[in-house]
Amino acid sequence: MGMRNRTVSSDSSDSTSTSSGGMDGGGMGGMGHACYIYTAINNPPALDPNPDVEYYRSIDMGIPLTMDDGKTINMWGFADSAGGGMGGMGGGSATFPSAPMRVRQGQVVQTHFSVSMMMAHTIHHHGIEPEYRSDGVGHISWDVSGQQYTYQWRPAHAGTYFYHCHTNTVLHAEMGMYGALIVDPPDGPGRVFEDGPSYDLEAIWAVDEIDSSWHDLDWAAGTCGGDVGLNELNPDYFVITGVDGAQSALTAPGIAVTMNRNDRLLVRYICAGYMPQTINFGGLTAEVVSSDGRPLPESYTTGSIDAVSAERYDCIIQPSSRGVYTVEIDIRDWITGDVLGTARTRITVN
């Protein structure tokens, strides 16, 4: 666990920033600063006593990610703490990205989220549109610190989503605090959405850029002011679903795809970074059938897709000829459009 010795108090009113008082800040070398963090939970919603699905998530601030050049970067994430044993607070061991959530349209879902009092985080189920107190946005409802909080939602639309932290989001999501969230239609995996296209196999490609210079920052970095550089993202690594896109993702199990000719592959493409991306399917043709958890009024076929931060595109690929196809995702500078880096994986068609 990469916990640091900064704290946030969880006393106080809605509008509290715990910038100085009430904690050990003075004794911690001037640290102990977190501002505009809202830890008071007032009037939480009643929970359904009979949820269909329950997830348990806690925090892991020390996830080593080894890159192809041998360097190790520290990531943050949500540990799957089902099975308990955490005392509800601390941690568990997470991966990058965090463990997926997969539910069925119409199920009542509860996400139980535990955070130690040493820090604050939330879970925002991106693209899911729940009651506001289950939306995980600190300044509107609250950040979670020093307790367990339960988000409740009932997905109405099948499709590809993701969940991520919404506290000091600019930093926490970049640090890797996200995981895939898949909503299946009533007839389950194998169909993208109700009455929608079928598929035989699927891949989840969450493509992200990493600026390793951000990865020594404290969870509350910048929240009280001061220039910690969060306006400038200068990525030096590019990953597909947590695997270095320089080399490893070309062959990584679960990312690189091996399939039979004429089988239908569903690619769930998530633009998980902040910079715009272009995914090129390496000569294969993709039928884009839905985006952001909604069917397109008409699907279309393409060899590449431009995407911006947090967009999702669901693509059916049904290759008719054998071959090895290299899929390339260019991550482009948000101002100049220059390609900052490229992540690659492969579709091998037998």
Partner 1 sequence: MKRRDFLKASTAGLAGSLVGGVGLLSWTPRAHASTIEKTFYITDGMVTQGDGKDIYFRGYSSNSSGLNVPGEHLIVQQGDQVEITIHNTLGSSHSFVIDGISDETVNSGRISGGSSTTVSFTADNVGTYVYYDNRNAPYNRIAGLHGGIAVMPVNSDDELYPGSPTFVQQQFWIFNQTDPDWNDAVRNGDTPDSNFTPRYFTLNGLSGRPPGAPGSGDPAIDSMHDPRSALHGHVGDRTLVRMINVGLAQHAVHTHGNHMEWLTSDGDIRPVWEKDIVPLNGNNGIADIIFPFDTPPDSWPPADVGTYPMHLHDEMTQTAGGGLYMFGSLTDIFFE
User: Which residues of this protein are in contact with partner 1, per CB under 8 A?
Assistant: 14-17, 36, 38, 48, 108, 124-135, 137, 139-140, 152-157, 168-171, 173-174, 221-233, 274-276, 291-294, 296-298, 306-311, 334-335, 337
CB of 67 to partner 1, least distance (A): 22
CB of 301 to partner 1, least distance (A): 15
What CA dihedral angle connects 304, 69, 79 and 6, to 10 degrees? -120
Phi/psi class of residue 30: alpha, beta or left (left: φ > 0; alpha: ψ in -120 to 50)?
left
CB of 16 to partner 1, least distance (A): 6
Shortest CA distance to 269 belongs to which of 258, 278, 261? 278
Contact 108, 20 (CB under 8 A): no
CB of 142 to Cu ion, least distance (A): 13
- Residues contacting 298, CB < 8 A, separation 6+: none
What CA dihedral angle connects 254, 159, 136 and 176, to 10 degrees? 20
User: Which residues on neighbouring strands pair with residue 324, listed in sequence order?
Assistant: 348
Nearer to partner 1, 127 or 242 (CB): 127
Residue 165 near Cu ion by CB under 5 A: yes
Burial 226-264 (b: 16+ CB within 10 A, else e): eeeebeebebebbbbbbbbbbebbbebeebbbebeeeeb
CB of 344 to Cu ion, least distance (A): 25
Choose the one of Cu ion, partner 1, none that binds residue 16, judging by a C-beta under 5 to 8 angstroms depending on kind. partner 1
Choose the one of partner 1, Cu ion, none that binds residue 344, judging by a C-beta under 5 to 8 angstroms depending on kind. none
Choose the one of partner 1, Cu ion, none that binds residue 145, judging by a C-beta under 5 to 8 angstroms depending on kind. none
Nearer to partner 1, 93 or 234 (CB): 234
Q: Annotate 130-150 with DSSP letters as a single string.
A: --GGGS--TTTS--B-SEEEE
Tell me, residue by residue from 287 to 326, as one string, x for binding to Cu ion by CB under 5 A and - for no binding: -----------------------x----------------
Choose the one of Cu ion, partner 1, none that binds residue 165, judging by a C-beta under 5 to 8 angstroms depending on kind. Cu ion
Choose the one of Cu ion, partner 1, none that binds residue 292, judging by a C-beta under 5 to 8 angstroms depending on kind. partner 1
User: Which residues on neighbouring strands pair with residue 326, listed in sequence order?
Assistant: 346
Choose the one of partner 1, Cu ion, none that binds residue 128, judging by a C-beta under 5 to 8 angstroms depending on kind. partner 1
Token readout for 282 is: 């390496």
End-to-end CA distance of the chain: 43
CB of 39 to partner 1, least distance (A): 12
Tell me, residue by residue from 176 to 205, as one string, x for binding to Cu ion by CB under 5 A and - for no binding: -x----------------------------
CB of 332 to partner 1, least distance (A): 8
Q: Annotate 204-243 with DSSP letters as a single string.
A: EEEEEEE-GGGTT--TTTTTTSS--STT-----EEEETTE
Contact 208, 272 (CB under 8 A): yes
Tell me, residue by residue from 105 to 134, as one string, x for binding to Cu ion by CB under 5 A and - for no binding: ----------------x----x--------
Report the DSSP pairing between strands 201-210 and 265-271. parallel
Binding site for Cu ion (CB under 5 A): 121, 126, 165, 167, 172, 177, 310
